[in-house]
Amino acid sequence: MTAESSISLPLPPQDGWTVDDFFNLPDLPPHTELIDGSLVFVSPQRDFHSLAVDLLVTGLRQSVPEHYRVRREMNVVLTPRTAPEPDLLVLRAEACQGRRQVRYEAADAVLVVEVVSPESQERDRDTKPGKYAKAGIPHFWRVEMAGEHDYPTVYVYELDPATSAYALTGIHHDHLKLSVPFDINIDLTAIDHL
């Protein structure tokens, strides 16, 4: 018997899963997401993905103001049928209620970050940014591996309230220096030192 054939998952309801269903399903694989009522399972991470997330978590935690918190790989509820798991979240501090919390609400998110993997390209480049913008999350970063050294390249987006869509405000290759949503200064080449 292969590993694939030994996995037993519940059959979805005819109209798909809701957020309430999703958070009550037992024994889901780690990093499962709910997108438009469907369960999405992710492939194992590549080294770049893990290191890029670590680099950004460290950089954000060093610069985040006291009224915000940084979280990695936690679900954020966007609609009653969508709760993706961004690689990183910056949240309002009051949204963090305790160590047993399993999800956050879109209204509490200030920044979401997705590190693109080969299997998640379409979701991270197209599906999720549109859903994050529609939910009103003001800032979005997409992180891709690029260049001869495979350093992170960070595409920075800001929500345009007139269109409820993200507008690209910058592409950062070796250094990420921003003043919104707060002062951020991260050496992206430091991924070599993690």
Q: What secondary structure does DSSP assign to 17-72, as a single string?
A: --HHHHTT-TTPPTT-EEETTEEE-PPPPPHHHHHHHHHHHHHHHHH--TTEEEEE
Q: How high is the pLDDT of residue 6? A: 61
Q: Is the dihedral of CA 79, 83, 87, 91 positive or negative?
A: positive
- DSSP conformation class of 182: S
Residue 180, helix vs strand vs coil: coil
Kind of pairing between the strands at 33-35 and 38-40 = antiparallel
Q: How far is 133 from 146, CA to CA, in rounded Å?
A: 25
Q: How high is the pLDDT of residue 10? A: 77
Query: With a cut of 50, which residues of the chain have pLDDT below it?
Result: 1-2
Q: How high is the pLDDT of residue 1? A: 41
Q: pTM of the prediction?
A: 0.90
Q: How high is the pLDDT of residue 43? A: 82
Q: How high is the pLDDT of residue 102? A: 94
For the chain, what's the residue count?
194
